[in-house]
Amino acid sequence: MATPAMFITWRDSADANVYEKERVDRVFNAIKPNRYPRAIVKVTHPSHVQEAVQLANQLQCRVSVRSGGHSWAAWSVRDDAILIDLEGLNEVELDESKRIVKASPSTTGIMLNEIIGKRGFMFGGGHCPDVGIGGFLLQGGMGWNCKNWGWACEQIVGLDVVTAAGEILHCNETENAELLWCARGAGPGFPAIVTRFYLNVRPKPAAMYRSTFIYPISEYKIVMDWVIKASPTSDPGNEIVAVSLIPEGIDEICIMVHIVTFQESESAACEALRPLNDSHPAGAIVEVISQPTSVADQYQDQAKANPSNHRYCTENAYINDDVDVTAVLEKAFTTLPHPKSFALWFSMAPMSRRPLPDMACTMQSDHYFALYTVWENVEDDVRCKGWVNNIMKDVAPMSKGAYLGDSDFQIRTTKFWTDEAAEKLMKLRRKWDPKGTVSGYLDDGDISGTRGLDNQNWSKI
């Protein structure tokens, strides 16, 4: 059967409404960028990606890539580039005997886990259900139970790519291994285009349970001190997060501690949660103790917390291990600018204390902090963005770096890798893409090109 032709929407010749739809309809953030690709290519076959790259080389322009469209800064939308939209690549194929799944970059976390879950497997993908695995994996992948299971990108055992020169290659530990190294943490600076991932999957836990405690924000210090102390030695099936939010029906800022445990039996789940249930501070407004849950339930909660058609401004930091984390985050957790916004502390220990595999993804600490500032109206832009900037002025000096996925390189420069990993990554970018055909890191003015990011802890905020 012949491969269908790829579909191209050219800026200079397409209907304006059609072009605009293809340009930004799949950008999750309702704040749309003022950047205009030369064309948008909708691909349905890996060969289309090769054709699009070859076309860009003929026209002497760049390419950009869209997997799920969930990057807050809309990295896929670049001026005068050919935007390669991978939405039409729809492949999920599980080899149960090898416990490896082949999946297209546009596959979302919920799609992947629904398919492999029916056959008894799970992948620790992104928490938000509609995040494509392409961007998620390339930036490292802070997925389900990351504090114990490790970075999702560690589960990449191979990938198929189209290089900046238009070649189709397979990459693994013995074949084009440099690109596999880059794929585990390069983020949008990966110097090729992934068309297929080969991923290790794990057996689906037989029992998922949760405990959730919501407190008035006046109890912030007691609650944060407790959860920070308890997390590193908690059961290895426990994912632990503390969130500042305004819960529906309570209508005031609260602090919530949410624990999800992944276990092989109900009794094991209850035993894993018991120390936290027994030690949690008194005074909770809401207590949910050792209740059954599922990946589907958790995805539903995440979708509600991250609604579509809203405006987003995000920031993040890996807080230094030797500071008073509770004090550093107090302003962020107690002064939310909008009822739909939230601040998050995610426990990364003990994973953050182990030697990492040899890969680009190298930035971590015991404490991951992120702001997800969510609002609806343009008139709130200045206030909400200003709040993020003010918080990060105080937090950034207390951090060792940041996570690529919740960052905007146009706004703030910081460390995303160790110095050694950053130097190696930028050299490999230049080796595999010497002309800067793949757009790379969207910094202020989109000028980083083949040089890449500086990986320095300084801030324009």
The CATH code of the domain at 92-203 is: 3.30.465.10
The single-letter code of the amino acid at 259 is I
Cβ density class 141-163: b for 16+ within 10 Å, e for less:
bbbbbbbbbbbbbbbbbbbbbbb
pLDDT at 2: 62
d(CA 262, CA 206): 8
Q: Which two tokens stand for residue 372?
A: 């997800």
pLDDT at 3: 74
User: What whole-number distance in Å separates Cα of residue 444 and Cα of residue 456?
Assistant: 15
- The pair of three-digit structure tokens given for residue 232, joined into one six-digit string: 């590193």
Do the two domains 92-203 and 207-406 of this chain adopt the same fold?
A: no
Q: How far apart are CA 388 and CA 369, in angstroms?
A: 13
- pLDDT at site 50: 97
* Cα distance between residue 45 and residue 40, in whole Å: 15
Kindly give the confidence (pLDDT) of every residue in the chain, 461 residues in length, as a single tens digit, with 9 standing for 90 and above: 567 778 999 999 999 999 999 999 999 999 999 999 999 999 999 999 999 999 999 999 999 999 999 999 999 999 999 999 999 999 999 999 999 999 999 999 999 999 999 999 999 999 999 999 999 999 999 999 999 999 999 999 999 999 999 999 999 999 999 999 999 999 999 999 999 999 999 999 999 999 999 999 999 999 999 999 999 999 999 999 999 999 999 989 999 999 999 999 999 999 999 999 999 999 999 999 999 999 999 999 999 999 999 999 999 999 999 999 999 999 999 999 999 999 999 999 999 999 999 999 999 999 999 999 999 999 999 999 999 999 999 999 999 999 999 999 999 989 999 999 999 999 999 999 999 999 999 999 999 999 999 898 765 55
- Return the pLDDT at 6: 84
Q: What is the pLDDT of residue 440?
A: 95
Cα 424 from Cα 421, distance rounded (Å): 5
Residues 92 and 100: their CA atoms lie apart, in Å, by 10
Task: Tell me the domain boundaries of the chain.
Answer: 7-85, 92-203, 207-406
Tokens of 44: 């349905």
What is the reported pTM?
Answer: 0.96
Phi and psi, residue 52, nearest 5°: -65, -40
CA distances, 17 to each of 25, 30, 64, 221, 295 (Å)? 11, 17, 21, 51, 38
CATH 3.30.2290.10 matches 207-406 = no
Distance CA 243, CA 250 (A): 15
Task: At 172, give phi and psi (nearest 5°).
Answer: -155, -165
Architecture of domain 7-85: 2-Layer Sandwich (3.30)
State the amino acid at position 299 in one-letter form: Y
Q: What pLDDT is recorded for position 1?
A: 57
| Partners of residue 346 on adjacent β-strands | 241, 368
Distance between CA 133 and CA 66 in Å, rounded?
A: 11
Task: Return the amino acid letter for 329.
Answer: L
For residue 260, what pLDDT is reported?
A: 98
Residue whose entry in the numeric block shows the structure tokens 């082949």? 102
